[in-house]
Structure 1
Amino acid sequence: MSKLCYLKENALNSICPYFTMFPLEYPIRHLKKFKMGNPVVVDPFCGRGTTLFAARKLGLNAWGIDTSPVATAIAKAKMASCSKADILELARELLQKTPNDVPENEFFKRLYSSSTLESVCALREGLLSINQETNASIVLRALTLGALHGPLNKSIENSIYFSNQMPRTFASKPDYSIKYWSQKGLFPPKINPIDVLKRKLDRIPTFNHSLNGSYHQVIEGDAQLESTTNQISDDFSLVITSPPYYGMKTYVQDQWLRNWFLGGPPIVDYTSGPQLEHKGTEGFAKSLGKVWSNMANSKANNLKMFVRFGIIPSAKVDAKSLMHMSLESSSANWRIISTRSAHTAEKGKRQATQMQSKSNAAIEYDFHIERI
């Protein structure tokens, strides 16, 4: 169980719940070892940006890459600096406009009250129409993504979510949600979005202290491509990351509602999108090897990687062997310094029990790897 996540000083890292994230202790532990050398840090599978947040805490420069627009929208907030007043001012400005596109299907009507749905759509359209991003818009977007769905609170005055009952780390599918709400007799609360956003901001100590780097250093792209990793303008010497679990192929579908808020369709998109190959171990190792090859292109004199790597139990694959295969398939010379069991990912990380869905714990290993 992660303990750092409960400290208020780290609340920014929880600005939006997200599944399959590694605990903050993992990057903090490794970054502290090398802090004196002032390394540039890269996470090619940055997810919600835990490595970036850890680097920010320690005053280090960091870059992140992810194929998911949801992940990068959250991660960018870990690299933003602005006042809370600016964030709320922007939210109030966007909420003054009447949205043009409000979904009328049963799911959205059961997910949000009518007034809350209109407010969510106003924030959505307002943020989508911004021509030039600001730190305030970056943070507001991540805050809203984190408030889109989550468990019902007994008191509306304490709610930090806009929605009817739903898991907070992933969005359940429309048909299942409607059935669940009907069986439980659950109705969406009438929420004032400004109140929710303010409560979420009150939990976070500050956004306006100086940091090394900016939200421009979070790249939405595929780390398998040199054209993506070439956007990193610093010579990095430290890679801290956790690739997608082998066999986990539903990242796009599980984040479909947040993807809608970012401009996607108001339905579940069952296409896989750009990600690692999951049709077999050889294909997965080869695609992951492309990422390691791109990491090895750094011009830093020394390059170290700390990788937390796992598989879903149903895949029935040896995680250590698969990691070795991926390193061998890259064009670089890597040496594994150590391999340690990270035990299993905690079942509760995806908050799956909130709507009675099952989630198996993933088997994980920690690898310390160096380029030779």
Structure 2
Amino acid sequence: MEGAAIQGDSRDNLIIQKACELVGKFDWIITSPPYYGLRTYLPDQWIRNWFLGGPSVVDYTSEGQLSHNGRDRFIADLRQVWANVGARCRPGATLVIRFGSIGDRLVEDPAQLVSASLEETGWVTTEILHADNAARGRRQADTFHRKRSAPYDEVDVWAKWRP
């Protein structure tokens, strides 16, 4: 079985097309998009991106990232991702999305937000599972913040591609 790890903005259809050229149509997509309201996703992941060939300096701009300027805009951006990856999947492919919340956006249930983003994309939600929270591992927030907060529970949303 072959696979591909994609580093790039999946709203851009060319990113998905390039990965598909390497391995053919997809049977599985496993992802964890930035949680709603997390504007520092890329800077927070700087060292991981650097190991994958990214820049050697931290870029704190948010240009080009998923929009966090409102629920509807965020959902529309995610919907573009799901449509793009779905177009490169075999019928019956599986999508697994790990998603959660951040402190200032707890008014939104993560499972409802992801489910709304999947509507009208060809992806059908088949299961939503409680995925616990980051307290079981080492949280970056615990390492770098003086005031520790409790992590929020995350969900795994499973969907099937049914165009």
Tell me, in whole angstroms, the C-alpha distance in 1 between the residues paired with 2:6 and 2:46.
Answer: 20
What is residue 294 of structure 1 aligned with on the other side? Answer: 84
What is residue 169 of structure 1 aligned with on the other side? Answer: none
Partners of 1:277 and 1:284 within 8 A in 2: yes
- SS for the counterpart of 2:158 is strand
For residue 320 of structure 1, the aligned residue among 106, 111, 124 is: 111
What is residue 126 of structure 2 aligned with on the other side? Answer: 337
Given the alignment of the two structures, is residue 352 of structure 1 paired with residue 141 of structure 2, yes or no?
yes
User: What TM-score comes out, normalization by structure 1 length?
Assistant: 0.37
Structure 1 residues 279 and 363: alpha-carbon distance in aligned structure 2, compared to 1, 3 A threshold: farther
Any gaps of 5 or more consecutive residues in structure 2? none
User: What TM-score comes out, normalization by structure 2 length?
Assistant: 0.79
What is residue 44 of structure 2 aligned with on the other side? Answer: 254
Structure 1 residues 262 and 309: alpha-carbon distance in aligned structure 2, compared to 1, 3 A threshold: closer
* Deviation at residue 355 of structure 1 after TM alignment: 4.3
What is residue 4 of structure 2 aligned with on the other side? Answer: 63
For residue 231 of structure 1, the aligned residue among 12, 18, 22 is: 18
Structure 1 residues 334 and 354: alpha-carbon distance in aligned structure 2, compared to 1, 3 A threshold: closer
Any gaps of 5 or more consecutive residues in structure 1? 1-59, 67-220
Alignment of 1:204-283 (within 5 A): 221-232=8-19, 233=21, 234-255=24-45, 263-265=55-57, 269-283=59-73
Q: Which has the higher strand share?
A: 2
Alignment of 1:1-372 (within 5 A): 60-66=1-7, 221-232=8-19, 233=21, 234-255=24-45, 263-265=55-57, 269-316=59-106, 317-328=108-119, 330=120, 332-346=121-135, 348-357=137-146, 358=148, 360-372=150-162
* Higher RCO, 1 vs 2 (CA within 8 Å, ≥6 residues apart): 2
2:15 corresponds to which letter in structure 1?
A: T
* Deviation at residue 309 of structure 1 after TM alignment: 1.5
Largest Rg, 1 or 2: 1
Aligned residue pairs, count: 154
- SS for the counterpart of 1:320 is helix
